[in-house]
Structure 1
Amino acid sequence: MPDALERSRRIVFTGAAGGIGTMVRPLLAAAYPGLVLSDRVKPGNLRPDETFVSADLTRPDEVAKAVEGAHSVLHFGGHSTEGPWDAVLQANIVGCYNLFEAARQAGVKRIVFASSNHAVGFYPRRKKIGTDVTVRPDSRYGVSKAFGEALGALYSDKHGIAVTCLRIGNVGPRPLDVRRLSIWISPEDLVQLIRIGLDHPQVRFEILYGASDNAATWWDNSRAHKLGYRPTGKAEAFRAHAEAEQAKIGPDPVGDLFQGGTFCSAEFTNDVKRAGP
């Protein structure tokens, strides 16, 4: 738990108006009062102790203003799904660089980067993987998240910023289909991982999987557990709902083979036997 001095840190939360930001903000606020929220649009239900700073990640001057005086940054901003190359490039690659560089210049000590399972989406579902595997992105979006992880390693090793990259599965109150039984994470468990990134003294550069205690997991998250992660969410409790929703979707001859699901099958022109490791 942060002591009184640590609780007074200026923590900037980019992408605060997005879906994940909206879910975790109330939970973070209890531990870290006075969050500085940043996005292109103002989040709803701003608390009296929260501050909003408008910033477009593609504009270095706006990003610099947002992180001015910050001790830590939660970088959840950017393009949140697959999209045209220019949209992904500007928000998730140029924007991510702008954020890390502005943080370096501002003397930021810690960054928690919202990476994604789509950085490794072309691993087959039958294969359990750790965080030390070669990235196998399933989309332009996945490529941008792999870039963010690499950038985090650079800024950790070269500039001493403590960086935690969270390969987030799917955040929500319950898994939405069978694939998400393996990758689901509750908002409460995601906040646990964020707090490790903000507070754990051993963090230098870490990649952790953003998943709850899922019986069907494809990921070895032992490093997160060594850092104190104790997830309470269990996807298996929602299996009946997930299977019912899956029946409405139907089969995907490509996506059903790989961890990235429909991100793998979209625009796919390869032979499935030649895809993935």
Structure 2
Amino acid sequence: MERLLLTGAAGRVATLLRPRLARDGRAVRLLDVVPLDDLRPGEEAVQGSAGDPETLREACADVDAVVHLATVATGRPMQFDAALEDLATTHAVLEAARQSGITRVVYASSNHAVGFHPRGEEDAPDWLFPRPDTFYGVAKVASEGLASLYVDRYGMDVVCLRIGTCRPEPDDVRSLATWLSPDDAARLVEAAVTAPSPGFRVVWGVSANTRNWWSLAEARRLGYDPQDDAEVFADAILAQHGDPDPTAVDHRYLGGAFTTRT
């Protein structure tokens, strides 16, 4: 892919991805409402909202694939009106991509689309039926549905990544299972933008953790080859937090403590 568009480019995940998606001959266009003045070689910036059609037309020009990371940041648990705004932004991005002739979109969904599923003894399967734990999760479920529509109706390829805990390091006991390292996040996005004709896919975004809760089968079919394992941090995290309690909400449901938020 010669030019990628990253929406939500000033956000945490995009900030981790930017240096890792750099390639010789590739331009990475960054879209955010926040001005970006720390551009690296090969990066371009467009300032504006990912929900604004005019801004999106400019941002999508000559783009080969879109990585849609933008979400509505509220500073609190997302309420229904914010979830609707988030869904509208995803629709705007998909429609702008379609009108611009872009056929590949990678959508940052979330494990919270299925957060109320109880944990089982086996890894949670790919394509797990929606069971959101918050309105944030509802927005992700509805956006996955939009992605499916754009694949079936318009022949696009859209890969939805149900991302776990994407941080430089896991920071609690739950994230020993749900961690997606920054390097693996880039490997997963790279697989999602380059896999031949994926159609509509829903895959877990997680590293190859010893304590993994989620299947990696579908992501591996895209060509994802995770290299990192949160277990290297386990001794320090368990020393601080203690052994996991399987009856605690953090470990009883896939969405952890999000299942208790209002």
Name the amino acid aligned to 2:107.
F
The answer to which of 170-179 and 75-84 deviates more is 75-84
Other-structure match for 1:87 = 82
| CA displacement, residues 38-75 of structure 1 (integer Å, 9 cap, x when unaligned) | 01012352114211011213322222222123221010
The reply to whether residue 140 of structure 1 matches residue 135 of structure 2 is yes
Aligned residue for 1:193, secondary structure, equals helix
* Equivalent of 1:232 in 227, 231, 253: 227
Q: Indicate how the Cα distance of structure 1 residues 119 and 125 shifts in structure 2: closer, same or farther if over 3 A, else same.
A: same
Equivalence map 1:105-120=2 (5 Å): 105-120=99-114
Aligned residue for 1:212, secondary structure, equals coil
Runs (5+) with no aligned partner, structure 1? 1-5, 268-277
Runs (5+) with no aligned partner, structure 2? none
| CA displacement, residues 197-236 of structure 1 (integer Å, 9 cap, x when unaligned) | 1111141111111100112111112111223221111111
Please report the RMSD computed on the Cα atoms of aligned residues, expressed in angstroms: 2.2
In structure 1, how many angstroms separate the alpha carbons of the residues matched to 2:77 and 2:20?
Answer: 28
Q: TM-score, normalised by structure 2?
A: 0.91
In structure 2, how many angstroms separate the alpha carbons of the residues matched to 1:16 and 1:32?
Answer: 20
Identity of aligned residues (%): 37
Equivalence map 1:40-59=2 (5 Å): 40-59=33-52
The reply to whether residue 75 of structure 1 matches residue 53 of structure 2 is no
Aligned residue for 1:108, secondary structure, equals coil
Other-structure match for 2:215 = 220
Q: Answer whether contact 2:105 2:159 (CA < 8 A) is retained.
A: yes
Other-structure match for 1:3 = none
Q: Aligned-pair distance for 1:160?
A: 1.1
Q: Aligned-pair distance for 1:143?
A: 0.7
Aligned residue for 1:37, secondary structure, equals strand
The reply to whether residue 181 of structure 1 matches residue 198 of structure 2 is no
**What is the aligned length?**
259
The answer to which of 60-69 and 92-101 deviates more is 60-69
Other-structure match for 1:195 = 190
Q: TM-score, normalised by structure 1?
A: 0.86
Other-structure match for 1:22 = 15
* Equivalent of 2:204 in 202, 209, 213: 209
Q: Aligned-pair distance for 1:252?
A: 8.7
Q: Indicate how the Cα distance of structure 1 residues 124 and 54 shifts in structure 2: closer, same or farther if over 3 A, else same.
A: same
Q: Answer whether contact 1:17 1:44 (CA < 8 A) is retained.
A: no
Aligned residue for 2:218, secondary structure, equals helix
Q: Indicate how the Cα distance of structure 1 residues 15 and 202 shifts in structure 2: closer, same or farther if over 3 A, else same.
A: same
Name the amino acid aligned to 1:161.
M
In structure 2, how many angstroms separate the alpha carbons of the residues matched to 1:164 and 1:140?
Answer: 21
Name the amino acid aligned to 2:144.
E
In structure 1, how many angstroms separate the alpha carbons of the residues matched to 2:166 and 2:81?
Answer: 26
The reply to whether residue 35 of structure 1 matches residue 12 of structure 2 is no
The reply to whether residue 121 of structure 1 matches residue 115 of structure 2 is yes
